[in-house]
Structure 1
Amino acid sequence: MEWMLLPLRRYARFSGRARPKEYWMFVLFLLLGFFILSLVETMLGLTTTDRWFQRGPWWASAGYSTRGGPLTGLFALAMLIPQLAVSVRRLHDTDRTGWWLLIVVFPFIGSIVLLIFLIMSGTRGANRFGPDPVEVGEPELR
């Protein structure tokens, strides 16, 4: 649980490096948070659901889409800066600048390239962004 909340303690720290464990545990925290909030909003009736049906001459399709409510929006807004900060630090660990986050403007390929960068292991030893967090040791989680 400490690893999930570590990026919140380092709220807007864009310098330094983040281990893969710190990044992916925070991603898990975000997924769990959005899932729980979507359940709460659905039970409270705060979500918007659109049902649709389309019929063509040779086909028909139906489905629905649900948009998040105010709790999900507030959570996403509150987690924006920590998510950006931990992503930049994770890219620093792979010896890349944080500007690589902008690669997602290329719709499909950019997201895949960024995902590969975030999955890669960090450079061993110190790099231009600071000392290796593995060599320095586990951060204080108290």
Structure 2
Amino acid sequence: MKWYFKAFYQYFNFSGRARRKEFWVFFLTNIFIYWILTNLYRFTDADLTNVPYIFLAIILIPSIAVLLRRLHDSGKNGWNILFVFIPILGWFWLLILLILLGEPKLNKWGPYPKGITEN
């Protein structure tokens, strides 16, 4: 859970770098939470239709921030996020960038997040 909350601690930090672990734990945990929230209506009589949307509003900024930091770790700038507007190919390209290892050295966005540098 520390990796999940790390993204919230850096809520408005759009610079720097994020490890794959930080990004993917945050991303996959949010998908799981959203799935739970969208299925709550099955277990209660309360009107919970807005709860998933409130959750999405809460995670919007930290999601963008951790995504940009993840791109920085791969040596790419934040403008690469615009690939999401290219259907299928853009999503696939962005997914590849998010899966790739980060640059194992200092880059213009900071030191390697794992703390291991190339000699």
TM over 0.5: yes
- Is 1:132 the counterpart of 2:112? The answer is yes
The aligned residue for residue 31 of structure 1 is: 31
TM-score, normalising length: structure 2: 0.90
SS of equivalent residue, structure 1 residue 135? coil
Alpha-carbon distance in 2 for matches of 1:110, 1:42: 35
Give the number of the structure whose alpha-carbon radius of gyration is greater.
1
Number of aligned positions between the proteins: 115
Q: Which runs of 4+ in 1 moved over 6 A?
A: none
Structure 2 gap ranges (5+): none
- 1:44 deviation in Å? 3.5
Once the two structures are superposed, residues 1-53 of structure 1 have per-residue CA deviations (whole angstroms, 9 ceiling, x without a partner) of: 11111101110100100000000000122012112211213333547xxxxxx
Alpha-carbon distance in 2 for matches of 1:42, 1:83: 28
1:89 alignment partner, one of 61, 66, 69: 69
The aligned residue for residue 6 of structure 1 is: 6
- 1:70 deviation in Å? 0.2
- Is 1:98 the counterpart of 2:78? The answer is yes
- 1:73 deviation in Å? 0.4
The aligned residue for residue 20 of structure 2 is: 20
- 1:119 deviation in Å? 0.4
TM-score, normalising length: structure 1: 0.76
Higher strand share: 1
Alpha-carbon distance in 2 for matches of 1:111, 1:42: 32
